[in-house]
Amino acid sequence: MSGDKPSPAYIRRAVEGADLNAVRVALYHNTGDASLAELPTAAKMDDAQRALLIDKAVAWLSENAGPGELPEPPLAELRRLMNMVTGGEMGDLEFEARHQITGFRPHPFTASWTAEKPALPKGFKVAVIGSGFAGITTGVQLDVLGIPYEIYERRAEPGGVWSINRYPDVRVDTASITYEYLFERGHAWSEYFGRGPEVRAYLAEVSKKHGVWDKTHFNHDLKHATFDEARDLWVIELETPDGPKVVEANFIISCSGLFATPHIPRFEGQDEFRGRIVHTARWPDDLDLKGKRVATLGNGSTGVQMLGAIAREAAQVYCFQRTPQWVSPRDKYGEPMEPETIWLARNFPGYWNWWRYSATSNLFETHQIMLIDREWQAKGGLINPVNDAIRADLLEYIKRETGGRQDLIDKVTPDYAPMSRRPVVDNGWYRALTRDNVELVTEGVERLTPKGIRTADGREIEVDVIVTATGFEVAKYLWPARYVGRDGDDLHDTWDAADGARAYIGMMVPKFPNFYMLYGPNSQPLSGGPAQPVWFAIWASYAAQGLVRILEQGKSRIEVKPEAYERYNSELDEEAKKLIQMTKEGGVEKNYYVNNEYGRLQVNAPWYSPFYSRLCSQVEWDDLEISNNNMEFAALSGESKENAES
């Protein structure tokens, strides 16, 4: 492209490489050209229809391209346009959950005051714990409300798991167009699936741009937090480079993440091993695998993502697989994002919005895939028609990618249903297994020896480095930080005395007032819905609604009622029973979604995601107890406002 005005050929390339459903609706949105509404969705277009759409878009862009945003259409029209993207009708529940994903509003999914902002009690402050995707969203939400906050982040930079994970080839495995904030969109990603360092840089940029960075205390590790019942605030003990520090906050919103503390296995004989053991979440800067013999343990999203890169460096790789995974491809994974695509997103008003919606809308369709269809099974099916079709496709994929090597096919094919675990995205994993310098080892690790690993069948494999891609301590939520609520109750002791970590809508726990968790127990949406960054915004807005309510009412405490917590959790357990995750067909025993100690779904929200979205958006105030122990708050609800925030 030369100068500011792209050539017609450049525009054509941009349109031809674009999401044609988004092109069609963005063009219709701009022009109202009725013939566009007559076209089917891209998958159903014939060549002539596709050519017509492309020609129309190129012609319009040649005249009109330029930066700009479209206003959100009236809701009925918005719904019609959304239906045009998918080529189907949606129900009210679905529309409610989806419509803000189109991102026409400056701050979608964000809570606001119901009337004028009230005066805040002097020194009122929210402590946000963690500065990853969730913490930054929460900061922005609080900023929109004008509520003072400080973030305490244990690392030296923002990014959360994107700061932690620095293993070879780390990158997102959901398309970057869906993995950016709705309030900070249209990032010029280098690849369709952005690499780790770029995601980290994006988060740092957003944090700075929105003033979150300035309110973040880096290298501040929350060790202990105690609720002071007399004053209705949290006393927070932090470890910092300058020693211990104590701060106070009226509220805590924990954004400390699900993937924060690595699961580091211990093996017999580990201290004898003379090589190096590295967890993927603790990747050392100085680790050079060139010419080394490497064992990799773990083939979840991380292990699968890194294998090819490690195999290209190392002399020999032994890939230890404990449980096979369904590993599936993604369109445009690993491909650079063309400058034309970035240009289009920035110069075709509405295109980014409809692209984002188009890329996300299919994520809503996954719930049924995880439900067992007994009638289908009675007819000889395995799970349900769609799940079985996915299995058939993936079996073909495995065959193709392994070059038909039956020895590998037998070992890597799971005996449980696809979609019952977190989908693992292929980064050339199967192909890496076919390399001369890679061996797939399915015997378990018996012990480590000075020179390497002894497997259960007595073989000794000599290695220089063992890479453990063994995941995170997901079931321990917030651990090792300790939280002490009312009556001196310790959060983890409370959970341990029952059946593990639970919460009300994943966020609140009785006797822990003014405390919200984002990405808490049973909150990971099972069917992705609007993609993870949006869920963080939804959860942050749920917590913000609690803040708004107590501040508008001049109250100082908000807490979930025990009966609401119990009811929610028993409904959740019932719902979970319908899912393949909890069945033998779904490989229940070794799934980090499931807490096998207590035999229950632990990580996921089992709900149909639009319904879950409603649960997290529309606060059931009757489930919550709002009260007042802090006279300063009470004064503000009355006539005297002299204590108000300066």
Is 265 near ligand NAP (CB under 6 A)?
Answer: yes
Distances (CA, A) of 51 to 56, 83, 148: 9, 22, 53
Site for ligand NAP in 324-383 (CB under 6 A): none
User: What x-and-dash track marks residues 542-581 binding ligand NAP by CB under 6 A?
Assistant: ----------------------------------------
Order of strands across the sheet with 126-129? Answer: 216-217, 149-152, 126-129, 251-254, 515-517
With a CB cutoff of 8 Å and minimum separation 6, the contacts of 552 are 113, 114, 115, 118
Q: Cα–Cα–Cα angle for 488, 493, 499, nearest 5°?
A: 135
Q: How far apart are CA 282 and CA 161, in angstroms?
A: 11
Is 300 near ligand NAP (CB under 6 A)?
Answer: yes
Instruction: Output the smallest distance, CB 525 to ligand NAP, in A.
Output: 12
Instruction: Output the smallest distance, CB 605 to ligand NAP, in A.
Output: 15
Question: From its phi and psi, is residue 60 left (phi > 0), alpha (psi between -120 and 50) or beta?
Answer: alpha
Residue 259 or 535: the one with the smaller Cβ distance to ligand NAP is: 259
Helix (H) or strand (E) holding 610: helix 609-617
Stretch of 123-131, 212-220, 293-301, 554-562 lying at the interface with ligand NAP (CB under 6 A): 293-301
Q: Are 554 and 575 in contact (CB under 8 A)?
A: no
Instruction: Output the smallest distance, CB 195 to ligand NAP, in A.
Output: 10
Instruction: Output the smallest distance, CB 179 to ligand NAP, in A.
Output: 8
Residue 447 or 561: the one with the smaller Cβ distance to ligand NAP is: 447
User: In the numeric block, which tokens belong to residue 597?
Assistant: 């100690």
Q: How far apart are CA 471 and CA 612, in angstroms?
A: 26
Is 297 near ligand NAP (CB under 6 A)?
Answer: yes
Is 590 near ligand NAP (CB under 6 A)?
Answer: yes
Residue 132 or 300: the one with the smaller Cβ distance to ligand NAP is: 300
Distances (CA, A) of 475 to 70, 219, 433, 524: 43, 25, 31, 12
Residue 301 or 360: the one with the smaller Cβ distance to ligand NAP is: 301
Beta-strand ranges (E) seen in 271-387 are: 276-279, 293-297, 316-320, 327-328
* Cβ neighbours, 10 Å, residue 330: 16
Is 270 near ligand NAP (CB under 6 A)?
Answer: no
With a CB cutoff of 8 Å and minimum separation 6, the contacts of 85 are 21, 22, 25, 41, 354, 357, 358, 361
User: What x-and-dash track marks residues 213-252 binding ligand NAP by CB under 6 A?
Assistant: ----------------------------------------
Residue of the chain from 41, 49, 323, 377 that contacts ligand NAP (CB under 6 A): 323
Site for ligand NAP in 440-479 (CB under 6 A): 469-472
Residue 73 or 265: the one with the smaller Cβ distance to ligand NAP is: 265
Order of strands across the sheet with 452-455? Answer: 445-448, 452-455, 460-462
Site for ligand NAP in 155-184 (CB under 6 A): 171-173
Residue 194 or 485: the one with the smaller Cβ distance to ligand NAP is: 194
Instruction: Output the smallest distance, CB 332 to ligand NAP, in A.
Output: 14
Closest CA to 307 of 439, 432, 407, 195: 432
Q: Are 645 and 124 in contact (CB under 8 A)?
A: yes
Backbone Cα Rg of the chain = 26
User: What x-and-dash track marks residues 115-154 binding ligand NAP by CB under 6 A?
Assistant: ----------------------------------------
Q: Are 317 and 289 in contact (CB under 8 A)?
A: no
Distance between the two ends of the chain, CA-based, in angstroms? 53
Is 302 near ligand NAP (CB under 6 A)?
Answer: yes
Q: Are 260 and 155 in contact (CB under 8 A)?
A: no
**CA atoms 117, 104, 534, 143: torsion sign:** negative
Residue of the chain from 5, 274, 322, 400 that contacts ligand NAP (CB under 6 A): 322
Which DSSP string corresponds to 529-542?
A: TT-HHHHHHHHHHH
Residue 36 or 518: the one with the smaller Cβ distance to ligand NAP is: 518
Residue 199 or 383: the one with the smaller Cβ distance to ligand NAP is: 199
Residue 176 or 250: the one with the smaller Cβ distance to ligand NAP is: 176
Instruction: Output the smallest distance, CB 126 to ligand NAP, in A.
Output: 27
Helix (H) or strand (E) holding 127: strand 126-129
Instruction: Output the smallest distance, CB 428 to ligand NAP, in A.
Output: 14
Q: Are 530 and 98 in contact (CB under 8 A)?
A: yes
- Count of residues engaged in binding ligand NAP, rule: CB under 6 A: 22
User: Which residue has 């503000």 as its token pair?
Assistant: 636
Instruction: Output the smallest distance, CB 467 to ligand NAP, in A.
Output: 11
Query: Mapping DSSP to helix (H, G, I), strand (E, B) and coil, where does residue 434 land?
Result: coil
Residue 365 or 443: the one with the smaller Cβ distance to ligand NAP is: 443
User: In the numeric block, which tokens belong to residue 290?
Assistant: 């060139």
Stretch of 217-225, 298-306, 311-319, 595-603 lying at the interface with ligand NAP (CB under 6 A): 298-306
Residue of the chain from 189, 202, 259, 535 that contacts ligand NAP (CB under 6 A): 259
Is 308 near ligand NAP (CB under 6 A)?
Answer: no
Residue of the chain from 86, 256, 299, 604 that contacts ligand NAP (CB under 6 A): 299
Residue of the chain from 305, 316, 353, 569 that contacts ligand NAP (CB under 6 A): 305
Instruction: Output the smallest distance, CB 312 to ligand NAP, in A.
Output: 18
Is 422 near ligand NAP (CB under 6 A)?
Answer: yes
Instruction: Output the smallest distance, CB 594 to ligand NAP, in A.
Output: 11
Is 592 near ligand NAP (CB under 6 A)?
Answer: yes
Instruction: Output the smallest distance, CB 473 to ligand NAP, in A.
Output: 10
User: In the numeric block, which tokens belong to residue 138?
Assistant: 């929460």
Q: How far apart are CA 5 and CA 303, in angstroms?
A: 45
Residue 56 or 171: the one with the smaller Cβ distance to ligand NAP is: 171
The whole-angstrom distance between residue 372's C-alpha and the CA centroid of its chain comes to: 25
Q: Are 420 and 586 in contact (CB under 8 A)?
A: yes
Note the residues at the interface with ligand NAP (CB under 6 A). Answer: 171-173, 259, 265, 297-303, 305, 322-323, 422, 469-472, 590, 592
